[in-house]
Amino acid sequence: MIKKGEAIKRQRVVFLAGEKIDLGILEKEQDIGRCLRWVNDQKITKFLLIGVLPTNKNLEEEWFEKQGKDKDNIVFAILTKEGEMIGVAGLHKIDWLTGLAEAGILIGEKQHHSKGYGTEAEKLLLFYAKEYLNLRKITGRIFEENYASRKAAEKNGFEKEGFFKEHLFRRGKFHNIIFYSKFI
């Protein structure tokens, strides 16, 4: 007899397997509702570069349509070992000439925060960037007050490369941004 979690896992395509999570293929029909909810949830996007403008279903469908067609942005579904999509992880603004990319990770399901899933997703992105894409340097912009993301980046060997004082405006004030990077 198939358990509920096994049936979910069989429906997902895993691209890179990790210890606690996998990076899988985004599936519009299955994932658009969650992604739409996450990008409009101000508690989830509090420290992200998205979430300033409301996103409607049409805009989210356009974003999904670009996935797999845009060679400069590669996005994966973050999947639990049971196959539940809990977030997204991607390499953005890939510069193929210089071998640079910016990492971005969102754990959208709040019950999965602070479990090390973002740290592992970032680790898998680094592996993919080096071993599959032959990139040489990955960067990330992190809000100074986003301690969880800073800790994850540092666990994965990222170093502080720059500090942008009062760089982004969110929720009535300017925020400092720390620029992290890692040569891979």
The predicted structure's pLDDT at residue 68: 85
pLDDT reported for residue 11 = 77
**pLDDT at position 7, please?**
47
Model pLDDT, residue 58: 94
The answer to whether residue 125 sits within a structural domain is yes
Percentage of the residues of the chain whose pLDDT score is greater than 70: 95
Q: Does residue 149 or residue 10 have the better pLDDT?
A: 149
CATH number at 110 reads 3.40.630.30
Order of strands, sheet of 85-95, starting from the edge strand that comes earlier in the sequence = 14-17, 21-24, 74-80, 85-95, 100-107, 137-143, 173-183, 159-170
Q: What is the mean pLDDT of the chain?
A: 93
Name the residue range of residue 122's domain. Answer: 4-140
pLDDT at 2: 42
Q: Are 78 and 107 in contact (CB under 8 A)?
A: yes
| In-domain check, residue 153 | no
- Is 174 inside a domain boundary? no
pLDDT of res. 171: 87
In sequence order, which residues have a C-beta less than 8 Å from that of residue 74 and are 6 or more positions away? 90, 91, 94, 133
Condensed to tens digits (0 to 9), the pLDDT of residues 118-153 reads 999 999 999 999 999 999 999 999 999 999 999 999
| Residue bearing tokens 């969880």 | 148
Q: Is the dihedral of CA 45, 49, 52, 58 positive or negative?
A: negative
Q: Please report, as a single letter, which amino acid is at residue 144.
A: E
Q: For residue 40, is it within any domain?
A: yes
Residue 3 confidence (pLDDT) above 80: no
170 vs 108: CA distance, rounded Å:
19
Alpha-carbon gap, residue 139 to 149, rounded angstroms: 13
| In a domain? residue 151 | no
In a domain, 181, yes or no: no
Within 10 A of 92 (CB to CB), how many other CB atoms are there? 16
Looking at residue 50, what is its pLDDT?
A: 85
> Is 106 inside a domain boundary?
yes
Q: What is the pLDDT of residues 50-101, one digit of tens each?
A: 888 899 999 999 999 998 899 999 999 999 999 999 999 999 999 999 999 9
What mean pLDDT is predicted for residues 28-47? 94
Mean pLDDT of 29-37: 95
Residue 51 lies in a domain: yes
Higher pLDDT, 3 or 171: 171
pLDDT, residue 4, reads 52
Domain count, the chain: 1
